[in-house]
C-alpha cells in the first residue's frame, strides 16, 4: 500500500466532501481514489468515512485522523520547500581540504571573495599536505595538485599546475646556467620531500625523457621553503608556478631549461560520486574554475 498517497486521497475526499471531486483534484479515477481510502481504512482497522451516493463525510475517528493528516502533509510540504530553497540558494557548512601552500598563497583570498558572493554559506577550511581519505574525513570538496590516479571519487580539473626549473640570478652568475638536464647533477638542488619519484627529477624535452638523480642540499616538504631558499641563491628548485610565479614576475627567480618540462600535473577538485551534486559543492567548484581557469594569473608573466 502506498500509505502517503492513501493519506492524500483521504484528505482530499474530506476537503471536497465527495470522491468524485477528490478524483478530479488528484487527476485520478474515482475508483482509484476509493481504493486508496479503503486500503487506508483496512490498514488502520477502522472506518474513516461515511459514504452516500453523492457525498462522503468523516466519522469521529476519521475527523481526528484528518486533522493529523493535514498537519503531516503540511510538514512534508515545508520540508520539500526547504530542500528546494537549499538547492536554489547555497547555505549551510562547506568543508574544504586543500594543500598548505596553495591555500595560503591563493585559496585564502579566493574563499574570502566566495563568501562575499554566498553569505549564507559557512566555510570550514583545513589545510594539509597529507594524503587523506576525503570521504572518511567528511570533506565536501578536496583540492589536490597531482596527476590523479583512478578513484571512486569524481575529479574536476580546476587549473594547470605548471612546474619550472628555476633559481636566482645571483646563483646562476656564480655557478653557471645548466644547458641540459644532465647538467643539474653538478648543481646544488632544492627538492620537495613528497615527490613520487623521490630524489629524481623527470624532465621531458626534444631529446626525450630524462631522469636526473639530483644532488640536493635542501629537502623540504613545503614548496615555499624551497622557493625562499632559491631566492636566497642556495640552489636550483623544481617549483610549481603558483608558488614561484610572483618571484619569477619580479625577477627574483629565473627559469632555466625552458625547452624541457616536468610531467603535467593539475589542480583538481575531488568529491564523492553522488546522484545529485549539492549546490554548495557545485557553486564552489564553478567559482574556482572561474577564478583560476586554464591560464591562471600566476602564469601570465614569467
The domain that contains 232 carries what CATH number?
Answer: 3.40.190.10
Three-class SS string for 171-232? HHHHHCCCCCHHHHHHCCEEEECCCCCCCEEEEEECCEEEEEECCEEEEECCHHHHHHHHHC
On whether residue 198 sits in a domain, the answer given is yes
* Joined grid coordinates for residue 55: 457525498
> What domain range includes position 127?
92-159+266-299
Beta bridge partners of 58: 49
- Residue 194: per-residue pLDDT: 64
- Residue 133: per-residue pLDDT: 75
* Joined grid coordinates for residue 162: 605548471
pLDDT of the chain along its 302 residues, tens only? 788 999 899 999 999 999 999 899 889 998 999 999 999 889 989 999 998 878 889 998 988 999 889 888 888 887 776 666 656 677 788 999 999 999 999 999 999 999 999 998 999 999 988 877 777 778 889 999 887 655 557 888 999 999 999 999 999 999 999 999 999 999 999 998 766 556 789 999 999 999 999 889 999 989 999 999 999 999 999 999 999 999 999 999 999 999 999 998 899 998 877 655 688 888 999 999 999 988 899 987 54
- Residue 302: per-residue pLDDT: 43
Q: What's the predicted TM-score (pTM) here?
A: 0.67
- Residue 276: per-residue pLDDT: 59
Query: Are residue 172 and residue 234 in the same domain, yes or no?
Result: yes
Alpha-carbon separation of residue 195 from 5, 113, 128, 251 (angstroms)? 59, 32, 16, 26
On whether residue 8 sits in a domain, the answer given is yes
Query: Are residue 38 and residue 170 in the same domain, yes or no?
Result: no
Domain count, the chain: 3
Query: Are residue 180 and residue 239 in the same domain, yes or no?
Result: yes
Query: Are residue 103 and residue 245 in the same domain, yes or no?
Result: no
CA gap 170, 229 in Å, rounded: 12
Q: Phi then psi for 193, rounded to 5 degrees?
A: -70, -15
Q: Phi then psi for 96, rounded to 5 degrees?
A: -125, 135
* Short-list 96, 87, 99, 189, CA closest to 139: 96
- Residue 80: per-residue pLDDT: 75
On whether residue 261 sits in a domain, the answer given is no
> Among residues 65, 88, 111, which one ends one of the domains?
88
Query: Are residue 224 and residue 242 in the same domain, yes or no?
Result: yes
Question: What would the DSSP string read from start to end of the chain?
Answer: --HHHHHHHHHHHHHHSSHHHHHHHHTS-HHHHHHHHHHHHHHHTS--EEE-SS-EEE-HHHHHHHHHHHHHHHHHHHHHHHHHHHHHS--EEEEEEE-HHHIIIIIHHHHHHHHHH-TTEEEEEEE--S---HHHHT-SEEEEEE-PPP-SEEEEEEEE--EEEEE-HHHHHHH---SSGGGGGGS-EEEETT-TTTTEEEEEETTEEEEEE--EEEEES-HHHHHHHHHTTS-EEEEEHHHHHHHHHHTSSEEE-TT-BPPP-EEEEEEE--SS--HHHHHHHHHHHHHT-SS-GGGS--
- Residue 86: per-residue pLDDT: 59
Query: Are residue 278 and residue 153 in the same domain, yes or no?
Result: yes
On whether residue 82 sits in a domain, the answer given is yes
On whether residue 17 sits in a domain, the answer given is yes
CA gap 238, 59 in Å, rounded: 82
Q: Say which CATH number the domain at 76 has.
A: 1.10.10.10
Amino acid at each position: 500500500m502506498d500509505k502517503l498517497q492513501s493519506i492524500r486521497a483521504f484528505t482530499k475526499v474530506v476537503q471536497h466532501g465527495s470522491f468524485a471531486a477528490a478524483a478530479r483534484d488528484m487527476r485520478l479515477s474515482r475508483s482509484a481514489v476509493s481504493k486508496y481510502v479503503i486500503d487506508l481504512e483496512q490498514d488502520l482497522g477502522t472506518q474513516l468515512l461515511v459514504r452516500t451516493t453523492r457525498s462522503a463525510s468523516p466519522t469521529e475517528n476519521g475527523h481526528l485522523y484528518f486533522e493529523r493528516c493535514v498537519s503531516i502533509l503540511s510538514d512534508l510540504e515545508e520540508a520539500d520547500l526547504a530542500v528546494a530553497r537549499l538547492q536554489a540558494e547555497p547555505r549551510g557548512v562547506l568543508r574544504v581540504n586543500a594543500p598548505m601552500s596553495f591555500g595560503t598563497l591563493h585559496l585564502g583570498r579566493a574563499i574570502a571573495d566566495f563568501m562575499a558572493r554566498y553569505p549564507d554559506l559557512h566555510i570550514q577550511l583545513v589545510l594539509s599536505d597529507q594524503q587523506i581519505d576525503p570521504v572518511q574525513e567528511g570533506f565536501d570538496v578536496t583540492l589536490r595538485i597531482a596527476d590523479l590516479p583512478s578513484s571512486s571519487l569524481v575529479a574536476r580539473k580546476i587549473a594547470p599546475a605548471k612546474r619550472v626549473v628555476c633559481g636566482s640570478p645571483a646563483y646562476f652568475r656564480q655557478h653557471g646556467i645548466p644547458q641540459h638536464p644532465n647538467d643539474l647533477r653538478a648543481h646544488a638542488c632544492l627538492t620537495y620531500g613528497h615527490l613520487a619519484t623521490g630524489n629524481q627529477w623527470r624532465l621531458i624535452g626534444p631529446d626525450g625523457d630524462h631522469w636526473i638523480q639530483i644532488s640536493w642540499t635542501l629537502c623540504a616538504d613545503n614548496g615555499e621553503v624551497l622557493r625562499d631558499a632559491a631566492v636566497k641563491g642556495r640552489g636550483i628548485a623544481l617549483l610549481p608556478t603558483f608558488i614561484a610565479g610572483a618571484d619569477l614576475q619580479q625577477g627574483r627567480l629565473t627559469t632555466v631549461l625552458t625547452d624541457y618540462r616536468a610531467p603535467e600535473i593539475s589542480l583538481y577538485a575531488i568529491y564523492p560520486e553522488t546522484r545529485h551534486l549539492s549546490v554548495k559543492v557545485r557553486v564552489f567548484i564553478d567559482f574556482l574554475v572561474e577564478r583560476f581557469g586554464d591560464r591562471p594569473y600566476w602564469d601570465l608573466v614569467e
